[in-house]
Structure 1
Amino acid sequence: MNPIDLKTALESFDDAWSPRIVAYLNDYDIRIAKFAGEHIWHVHENTDEFFLVVDGEIEIGLREPAGERTVTLQQGQVFVVPRGTFHKPSSKLGASVLLVEPTGTLSVGDQHDEVPGHVDVTTGHVAV
């Protein structure tokens, strides 16, 4: 029941693609993560996914009925990937991102490409 300083929480870990849970809101995790390089194409069948760029810039590739497109988010911008949409987050120069997802949501979704070693398959680690 104390305030969470996002800067301090982000400084407490270095691993990219390994989200940390900083708070809980009803049945949702408030997670922070560092993005560097590419994640994988994946989909969350039953939930939207909220992204807020805290620092840096990210791209989110989207596979939609009309074809593929890429959304670029700068610091301070938000975007919601709708449930059932294959997406692939990435960051060329590195970024810090706040995510909102239902508790227990896997970082690689319900369906995904092969998971490389640099992507942590997790439901989030509790931030210290």
Structure 2
Amino acid sequence: MKIIRSRTFTAERPWGALDIACMNGITARLHWTDRPYRWHVNDGEEIFAVLDGRVEMRYRENGEERSAILETGDVFHATVGTEHVAHPIGAARILVVEQAGSV
């Protein structure tokens, strides 16, 4: 049993993470960041939930770059093959659920 106060979580570096659980090969991790990640494609699907802060999520769809501002409480679902990159607007805390070992 765990209770995690996401608003107080910080990491020593951008995209540092707290491993919450690994359930049948699917991980749930809490990330803290104040810097962009990098363009990438996950090994499978990804759920990206903004728990605190704001994030500009950039993604490519049919070769065209798009973006959306994710507010606290918003969720981004990256389907298989979706190239994307997260750009936090200030500090943000994000819950990421994905296949274990994914980028």
What TM-score, normalized to structure 2? 0.87
Q: Deviations over 1:72-119 (max 9, x none)?
A: 11111111011111111111211000000111212xxxxxxxxxxxxx
- Does residue 99 in structure 1 map to residue 102 in structure 2? no
The separation in 2 between residues aligned to 1:17 and 1:5, in whole angstroms, is 17
- Change in Cα spacing, 1:57 to 1:8, as seen in structure 2 (3 Å) is closer
| Residue of structure 2 aligned with 1:38, choices 36, 39, 42 | 36
Deviation at 1:9, TM superposition (A): 7.3
Which structure has the larger Rg over C-alpha atoms? 1
1:83 equivalent in alignment to 2:80 = yes
Unaligned stretches of 5+ in structure 2?
none
Q: CA deviation at 1:8?
A: 7.7
2:12 counterpart (11, 14, 18)? 14
Percent identical? 29
- Cα distance 1:3–1:20, how it changes in 2: closer, same or farther (>3 A)? closer
Counterparts of 2:33 and 2:13, CA distance in 1: 9
Give RMSD over aligned pairs: 1.8
Deviation at 1:27, TM superposition (A): 1.5
Which one-letter code corresponds to 2:80 in the other structure? Answer: R
Q: Give the gaps of 5 or more residues in structure 1.
A: 107-128
Determine the structure 1 residue equivalent to 2:44: 47
Change over 3 Å in CA distance of 1:47–1:38 after alignment to 2: same
Instruction: Name the counterpart of 1:113.
Output: none
* TM-score relative to the length of structure 1: 0.72
